[in-house]
Each structure stands twice: as C-alpha cells, then as structure tokens.
Structure 1
C-alpha cells in the first residue's frame, strides 16, 4: 500500500512533462485555440523578429481564422535537458489544413523547429521558438 502511495506522489520526469506540453501545443493548434497555444508560452516568450507572447497568440488566431481545420504532423521530438529548469526541444513539423491533407501555407513546406523551454512554478513553457524551412 505504501509503494502505491509513493508511486502516486512521484513527480513526472522532466522529459515526459515537456513531451506532454508539446502534445498540448499540438492539440491546441488542432483544436484551433489561440488562447491554449498562448498558455504553453512563457511570459518572457520571444519568437522570430522579436515576436512576443501576444504576437504569437495573434499570429495563431489569424491562422485559425483562415483555416477551418488544422492538423500538425510532427517527426521525432528530441528533448535536451540543461540543468533542472531549462531544455531545448528539436523536431520537424508540417501543418495541414482544409479538407484532406493540404499543407499550410499554400506552398508545401515542412519546418525544422527549435524551442527553448523553462520550468517555472512547476510547469514547462516555451521561452523561445524558431523555425526554418526544410525545403527551399
């Protein structure tokens, strides 16, 4: 009985917690919820061209207004921990939209994505994000 109680109290491993947040972000995009996308971003988030958390939420909302259906196709997710409260996540992804599997944006493109993560108040959130096209 004590072993069961202790197992229930054990904290989730950092890599598993980050992977869960990556899955939550993917779900937020597919559910077309810009506010849920923003929930995964740290208050100090910085993206391409100095995009802040608010700008990222607005970009997500605009994309979601343009496309009735959005899917996220990801490759393997590589999590590299840096100490107890920082991590880097690398993956590849493509967004799909509309009927079937049409790629977003209108030109077919897959992306290399690298994100920085921070553990704050027990929750892993994205602090930085950059994406580069795989096909040029």
Structure 2
C-alpha cells in the first residue's frame, strides 16, 4: 500500500535559503523521472556490448540482440550466439576497438555505422589473431531498451 504524502506549507517568513531548499526538494523527484535521450541510451548499449565481449560474457552480450536478428549470409540469433561463444572459448583475451559511430536516429529505430578492430589471444601479452571490419547495424527500441536486429559486416 502506498504511503500518503504530506504537503508541508512553506513558511513565507522563512529565509530565502530555506525556500530554495524546499523548492529543490519539490523538483528533485521530477528530475529522477527523466530518461536519457534515445541516442545516448543507444550509444550506452554499444559500450555495454563491447564490455561484455571483452569480459568474455556472451550471455550478457546477447541480451541486446533481438530474437529476429539477421546478419550476413542469413546468420540468425542462434548462429551469432554460437559464434560469440566460440570466440570466448578460443581466446583467453578478447580486445575490441570501435571507431567513431555514425548514428542515424528515426522514431523507434536507428542505424549505426562504425569500424571495428577485434583481437584475440591465448593469454599472452600480444594478440595472436585480429581482424578489422566495417559494420552497419540496425536497431529498434523494445520496451525502452535498444535491441540489435540487423548487422552487416565487411572485412577491411
């Protein structure tokens, strides 16, 4: 059961500092309700996916991939998940450097283009494997979260 809120009258003879504090306290809950702009949330999702790969957490990476994902040559969500797992198993260390992201926002969807440099190693100091790609991705908002539903990558 929700507790009832009491409205406390502000004493008009109170000092200006107290009135300012009371005004801030009244406005504070409204500030907590605001959401980040869609592009900022999308960029944050990209960072979280990159971190998941580098931390070898394929399940966390896949949280951002839509059920109907489609990639190059008909790669679906299951095939992408298996590819990510295979990279985690094959590499003790995974490095991923993304170039600047070019974001095109639309109502409820977006396209993001970037370059990616991926490296993998068996735990040694220097990467043993690597590759560079140009990537185009398609995104849509689902329940306030961004989900990757399309990706196309081309080796550089």
Work out whether the TM-score is over 0.5: yes
* Residue 130 (structure 1) aligns with: 152
The count of residues paired between Structure 1 and Structure 2 equals 130
Separation of aligned partners in 2, 1:89 and 1:65: 28
Separation of aligned partners in 2, 1:110 and 1:103: 14
Unaligned runs of 5+ in 1: none
Separation of aligned partners in 2, 1:113 and 1:2: 46
* Residue 100 (structure 2) aligns with: 76
Deviations along 1:98-130, one digit per CA (max 9) or x if unpaired, are: 23342634xxx3111110000011110100011
Alignment RMSD, CA only?
1.4
Separation of aligned partners in 2, 1:47 and 1:112: 13
- 2:140 is the alignment partner of 1:118: yes
* Residue 38 (structure 1) aligns with: 62
TM-score, with normalisation over the residues of structure 1? 0.89
TM-score, with normalisation over the residues of structure 2? 0.78
Separation of aligned partners in 1, 2:126 and 2:45: 24
